[in-house]
Amino acid sequence: MDKIIVKGGQPLFGEVSISGAKNAVLPIMTACILAPGKYILNNVPDLRDTRTMAKLLTIIGATVEYNNNTMVIDTTECNNPKAPYDLVKTMRASFYVLGPFLGRFGFAEVSLPGGCAWGPRPVDLHLKAIEALGADVSLESGSIVAKADSGLTGATIAFDISSVGATGNALMAAVKASGKTIIKNAAKEPEITSLAEFLIKMGAIIDGLGTDELIVTGVNELKGDFEFDIIADRIEAGTFMIATALCGGEITLKKAKSNHLDIVISKLKEAGAIVTSNDVSITVKSGGNINPVNITTAPYPGYPTDLQAQWMALMAKAKGSSIIIEEIYKDRFTHIAELTRLGAIIKLEDNVAVVTGNNKLNGAPVMSTDIRASASLILATLSANGESEISRVYHIDRGYENVEEKFRNLGANIYRVSE
């Protein structure tokens, strides 16, 4: 099993190219199922999760080719609308096939999902959405079986809470439903907007992009055979921005979109970093002096839960105390135990963490528990004195492309070893 070795204490300098967004490409890969055809996706990151999704597509009957961050998916021969437990248990995003299966085949059999080790993230919202569209849903031997023998029918879907995954599945199920579907309290994340833009290119009719109310007018047929560019990963960009604020130095993030990171940029400026941007890049400069800044995670455009763990690593070295409140996944704090091994001072009560800044972190062996916790440990160890060893790094390979190579190119002393 691979480990990452970090010798901390080096500031970061240079340029880093931000990869395509994992959370954008995964639903778009499943959307290709909706209409037979060949799809060329550009800027696809080489991740464990994209490889898992590609394997799932081949089980369904698609052919998938990947070379130099371009993925070609041919769904002409798809004929097996089933997602088995062995794959779905490793990646929750596999559940995105539910909507496309129903839209194309009127049938779906999808195992209940797995993924990161922390906390339950129920699929109830997904199921309520497709039931509202007329699907008959049952649980059989650990799998969701959904049927729409006569097709789906447009409806009003009102989510109790904003959910990226449920919004994506509802969109993909609704585009071929007869009549009009209104999705209220829809997720507004850039990844959902990107999915909607992909569906529109297929011939879907969707209004309200970027708002919390999406209106879908169903169409009888969708078309494939086109090319599409995956947006840059705002979470990867935010991770490198926070790393620079933590370690000091100056880096330029190429391909990053500042308008996807407004609140993160605002918080970094409060913390003392200097951030400038243009249409194609973001530059972050820091002397390593960190002001304490509170955050509360919230749906987009609020502070992203996927950058909470990284922010905690930053606040661990702030000059004072800060409060971090997790409102999306309230038990997403498995990184705290590992950060404290490095010397971080953190007290947790319910979903509120109080971080007392400590100017000195020291290297130690630590263990990854999920994708973003892994990122927080890399950031913390990069800023710590001495050497650290991060185990179970397969988690970070699910969400970050060539992470140690990118940091090494910025001057970090970081490398991977295999046992």
Q: Which residues are known catalytic residues?
A: 116
Which of helix, strand or coil describes residue 88? helix
What order do you get walking across the sheet with 274-277 strand by strand? Answer: 12-17, 249-254, 281-286, 274-277
CA distances from residue 262 to 166, 276, 290, 301, 303 in whole angstroms, order as listed: 24, 12, 19, 8, 9
CA atoms of 335 and 378, how far apart (whole Å): 11
74 φ, ψ (degrees, to nearest 5) = -115, 115
What order do you get walking across the sheet with 82-83 strand by strand? Answer: 82-83, 107-111, 143-147, 136-140
Burial class of residue 236 (count of CB atoms within 10 Å of its CB; 0-12, 13-18, 19+): buried
DSSP assignment string, 43-60: S----HHHHHHHHHHHHH
CA atoms of 216 and 336, how far apart (whole Å): 42
Pairing of strands 345-349, 295-296: unpaired
Burial class of residue 86 (count of CB atoms within 10 Å of its CB; 0-12, 13-18, 19+): exposed
Structure tokens at 394: 């397969």
CA atoms of 124 and 126, how far apart (whole Å): 5
Q: 304 and 260 in contact (C-beta within 8 Å)?
A: no
The amino acid present at 223, given as its one-letter code, is K
